[in-house]
Structure 1
C-alpha cells in the first residue's frame, strides 16, 4: 500500500499538512459515533492516505465539471495518545499507567475544499476563474458547506495544508526531540510525521510570538505565528499536533528546520543579527529550491 501511495503522488505538487488530533469527547456528542466508526474502518494510515489521494484524483477527472467533494463520506485519521499517569502527570495511586486513548482527525473535505476554492478565487477573476471553477459549481458546493454547518454547528477545521514547501511558522511548533515516524519504501522516504502534544506546541508558538513581537515586529512570520496560535487554542488540551511532510520529505530529510527556526528566534531576541542571518540562510538553502519547483516547467 505504501508503494502505491508513492507512485500515486508522482508528478503531483508536493503537499504537506499540519493536523490536530483530538480525543473523542472533544467532538459534539452527535458526531462521536460517526467519527469513531469512520476511524475504526481505517485499515491503516497508508490506506487512508491512498483512499484520499485516489478520491481527489477522481474528482478532478469526473464528468460534469464539479471538482468538489460531496460529503457523503469523510475519512478519519486515528492515532494513539501517549500513555499518561493518573492525575497531573505523576504516578497513579495503584502504580499503573493509564490506558492510551485514541485521538481523531476528521478530513473535513467539504469545508477545506470550500476554503481552498475561496483562497484561489481571491487572486483570479473573470473568464479564468469561471474556467477553473464554474460559478454554478461554486454555488452548489456552498450549499454543501451550509448543510455541514447547519448540522454540526461551530466547526474547528483540523487540517491545514501547504503546497511546494512547509511554512516556516509550522516548524516553531516542534523540536528535534519530538516523536517522528519516517515512512519509507523502495529506497525512498514517502513522508516524515512529527508529533507534539498541543500544550507543548502552543507553549513554543507563544514563545516565538513574544520574542518576534519585541525583536522583529515587521516580520511576516509573526502574523503567521499569531494566526497559528489562535487556531491551536481552539482545540482540546489533550490533543496532539502532527506535521506531515508528505513527499517533500524525500528531498529535505533529515531536516534541521525546527532547530534553525528556534535558533533564529533566539538570536533575534538576543540581538545577534549574525546568528539570525545564518539560521535564515540555512532555511533558505533548504526550502527556496523546493518553492521554485512550483514555477518550473
Structure 2
C-alpha cells in the first residue's frame, strides 16, 4: 500500500498506538451523530494522521503556555467492519456502508479523545521522575483549566473508556500478545520508506490470546513484570463492545523493524516458559531485545 508521509514526521520521537474501533451503537447517543458524520466524510487515514500531528505541533508552539487540546474538535479514525469471512479491507471505501457484519453503517469508530488522553498523560508525567520539570513546563493554572475541560467532556459524552493507548520509543511487548503474524496487516509506504504498519484482530481474538498468555505466565513466571501489563491489558479490552476491532499502529518505528516477528517471538517465549523450556524462552527474549532495545536507547540519545 502506498500513502503520504505525514507532514513534519521526520525528527519526532517514534510513537506507536494501540487502538480500539467500536460499532456506532457502543457510543452514547449524543456522540453518534458526530461519529456518523466523520464516517460519511470518508477522508483518508493519512489526512487524519496529518491533522492530529499538525494540531499537536501547533499546541506546543502557541503562545500563552497552554499545551493542552481545547476539545473544539475531535478527530475520528474509521475502519470498515470485519466481513463475515473475517477479511478486513485495507481501508473504508465508498461502498463501505454495505460491507459490515451486523452494523447499520458497516463502520467501526475510534475517537481520538485528545482532551481526556492529554490529561492522563500530564498526570502520569507529574507522578513520574520528571515531575518537578513537568510542573515548570506546564503551569498549575493550565493544568486546572484542562481539568475543567476533562470534567466537561466526561459530563457530556459519558466517556469511561479510553480507546487509544500510546507508546513512544518502542512497542510494549505485552501488546504483541494480542496479534499473530497471520492477522490482517497494512504496510503503508512512501518514497522508499515504510510510513507505518497496522495489524488488526477482532477483540474476541485479542482477548483469547491475552487470557492464554496470562494463564500460562501466572503459573510459569508469576513474578514477571509482563504479567501485570497483560492483566491490565485484559481489563482494558473487556471494557469494549464484543464486535470491536483492535489495531496496533507501529508508526514511524516500522521503518526500523519491519518485517517484524515480535508477535511470534512473544508467543513462543510464553509457550516455552509454560513448558519449562528456559533455553527457548531466553532465545525468544534475545531476539526481541536485539530488535527493540536499540530503538528504546534512542530516547536517551543526544
TM-score above 0.5: yes
CA deviations on 1:38-87 (whole Å, 9 max, x unpaired) are 233351100000000000000000011100000010000000112127xx
Residues of 2 paired with 1:228 and 1:240: CA distance?
A: 15
Q: Is the 8 A contact 1:42 1:76 kept in 2?
A: no
What's the TM-score, normalizing by structure 1?
A: 0.93
Residue aligned with 1:66, SS: coil
Residues of 1 paired with 2:134 and 2:284: CA distance?
A: 39
Q: Which residue of 1 aligns with 2:196?
A: 191
Residue aligned with 1:9, SS: coil
Q: Which residue of 2 aligns with 1:155?
A: 160
Q: Which residue of 2 aligns with 1:60?
A: 60
Shift of 1:17: 0.1
Residues of 1 paired with 2:42 and 2:68: CA distance?
A: 22
Shift of 1:2: 4.1
Residue aligned with 1:190, SS: strand
Shift of the 272–27 alpha-carbon distance from structure 1 to 2, 3 Å rule, reads same
Shift of 1:184: 0.1
CA deviations on 1:205-256 (whole Å, 9 max, x unpaired) are 0000000000000000000000000000000000000000000000000000
Residues of 2 paired with 1:286 and 1:125: CA distance?
A: 30
Matched positions, count: 283
Q: Which residue of 1 aligns with 2:124?
A: 119
Q: Is the 8 A contact 1:45 1:77 kept in 2?
A: yes
5 Å matches for 1:110-259? 110-123=115-128, 124-126=130-132, 128-259=133-264
Residues of 2 paired with 1:286 and 1:231: CA distance?
A: 27
Extract unaligned runs of 5+ from structure 2: 86-97, 101-105
Residues of 2 paired with 1:157 and 1:245: CA distance?
A: 19
Q: Is the 8 A contact 2:23 2:241 kept in 1?
A: yes
Shift of 1:170: 0.1
Shift of the 218–141 alpha-carbon distance from structure 1 to 2, 3 Å rule, reads same
Extract unaligned runs of 5+ from structure 1: 86-97
Residues of 2 paired with 1:50 and 1:225: CA distance?
A: 31
Q: Is 1:80 aligned to residue 80 of structure 2?
A: yes
Q: Which residue of 1 aligns with 2:45?
A: 45
What's the TM-score, normalizing by structure 2?
A: 0.91
Q: Which residue of 2 aligns with 1:267?
A: 272
Residue aligned with 2:179, SS: coil
Q: Is the 8 A contact 2:19 2:248 kept in 1?
A: yes
Q: Is the 8 A contact 2:126 2:135 kept in 1?
A: no
Q: Is the 8 A contact 2:125 2:131 kept in 1?
A: no
Q: Which residue of 2 aligns with 1:93?
A: none
